[in-house]
Amino acid sequence: MKRTLSLLIGTAAAVILGAINAAAENVSPDTRKAVETSDGVTFSVASDVLSASQFKEDTKITVSLSETEGDECPVKLVLNYWDANTDLNNGIGAPASVEAEATEYKDGNAVFDYDTITAALGDTDLSMVYSIDVLATGETVTCKGFEATDVYSAAEMAENDILRTTWVHVRKPKETDNWGQSASIGVDQFDTSTMTDKTWVIAQFESELPDDTFTNAVELILQSTDDTVSPKAKNGTVWGKVSPVLFNNHYAMFLYEDMVDAYGTEDMSCVTVVYVGDTGNGKIKCTDLYALRCKTLFTEEPEEESSEAVTEESSQEESTAESTVETDTSADAAAVEENSNDSHADEKTTTKKNIVFIIIGIVAGIVIAGIVVYIILGKKSKEAYDISKHRFIKK
């Protein structure tokens, strides 16, 4: 009996701890494209997969490497960010990077913690980091695994207005002149509806213009072919041309308010393509686009589909009792969802807490029931049934 009680309590503790740990978000990018190297980047993850602004004080990044020799860590973490120093590139700033040392290395696993990462960045805000590299420092290695534990989820980022930087390395840039388009960037790479009034967009390009040029070489174009919101739409088409507020012969900065004016509305959900084109003042080739301080979009559509699937499945159950219970549960969930449309963010946080409390309550009930059964059986084991008296008597 004591063994049974111990198992019940152990199971309860395991379920409770599992429920609490389930609330933490972990991100594990696919490392199958990692390369073997001894003095270069073996793996890189962009901010659309893992943003540094997702990191919390308890966040740790674990890099798993191929077979290595020695006890010294053979890799560093490189944080690439936009340096907004106004003394650089006529006030535009420039790409920059810092290196972070591993805080722990054992059995081919290098661990980097939050304090080490933020110390390396100094005063630079985490939202300005646009990619993270794993850099080999002498020994030939391959990144076999990359995991960031206990980070903000997309829902938490959206709820708390945590911003991130989007970086697009143009796949096939063209060298253009005479008002051509050098780079074509779709919404799968840069979703313009994530921009805020804090957003800057910076185009990086190659040109033959002199260093001290006063000639603007590029423009940004926001295109939509099926627009339903912009007052500038003609037959559903918008071609919004934006001039940079700052520029030199390699960088051009575009402000959010200028993009709104060019497109005609802050609602840019209908934008399908962003172009970087030349202005007829010389040849250019756009290689990169940086959108600083963008918001995270979050939708609960997958969860809603899951709820509908559960509702449909429950309606097909043959058991009347089970069907009734599941249908009532689905109906209650739908009612709650309908009544909370005005506060999705608060509901998400509350739901997580409620799930943990419900699990704890259920497990606690199981434990209490187990204890009661233990007491009853223990009491009965001290009695014997007297056939002549037709009742239990103490042994």
CA 260 to chain CA centroid, nearest Å: 26
Selection from 118, 114, 194 nearest residue 158 by Cα: 194
Q: What value, to the nearest 5°, has the Cα angle with vertex 321 and ends 316 and 326?
A: 55
Question: Which positions ≥6 away from 65 have C-beta within 8 Å?
Answer: 74, 75, 108, 109, 110, 141, 142, 143, 144
Amino acid at 311: T
Residue with tokens 């198992």: 7
Neighbour count for residue 332 (Cβ, 10 Å): 10
Sheet holding 75-83, edge to edge: 41-46, 129-136, 75-83, 94-100
* pLDDT tens per residue across span 148-159: 999 999 999 999
The phi, psi pair for 390, rounded to 5°, reads 55, 45
Q: Is 268 helix (H, G, I), strand (E, B) or coil?
A: coil
How confident is residue 196, by pLDDT bands cut at 50, 70 and 90? very high
Give the residue with greater pLDDT, 258 vs 372.
258
* pLDDT-derived band at 57, boundaries 50, 70, 90: very high
CA-to-CA dists, residue 187 to 35, 168, 184, 299, angstroms? 28, 11, 10, 17
Residue of 337 and 191 predicted with greater confidence:
191
Distance linking the first and last C-alpha atoms of the chain: 19
The more confidently predicted of residues 387 and 327 is 387
CA nearest to 185, candidates 199, 197, 174: 174
pLDDT of residue 69: 84
Q: Which 3 state secondary structure label does DSSP give 123?
A: coil
Amino acid at the residue 299:
T
Q: Which amino acid is at 223?
A: Q
Per-residue pLDDT reduced to its tens digit, 269-281: 999 999 999 999 9
Q: In the prediction, which pLDDT does 298 show? A: 85
The pLDDT of residue 336: 37
178 or 350: which carries more pLDDT confidence?
A: 178
Task: Residue 295: name the closest of 118, 169, 159, 168 by CA.
Answer: 159
| Cα–Cα dist 189/221, whole Å | 15
- Amino acid in position 90: N
Instruction: Say yes or no to pLDDT of 345 above 50.
Output: no
262 — pLDDT class (breaks 50, 70, 90): very high
Pairing relationship of beta strands 200-207 and 251-255 according to DSSP bridges: antiparallel
Residue 364's CB: how many other CB atoms inside 10 A? 12
Task: Please tell me the predicted confidence (pLDDT) of residue 241.
Answer: 97
Total residues found in the chain within this entry: 395
Give the C-alpha distances (Å, rounded to integers) separating 227 from 116, 126, 223, 345: 46, 34, 9, 29
pTM: 0.71
* pLDDT recorded at residue 327: 42
The answer to whether 195 and 256 have CB atoms below 8 angstroms apart is yes
What pLDDT, on the 0 to 100 scale, is given for residue 122?
97
Residue 366: the pLDDT is: 76
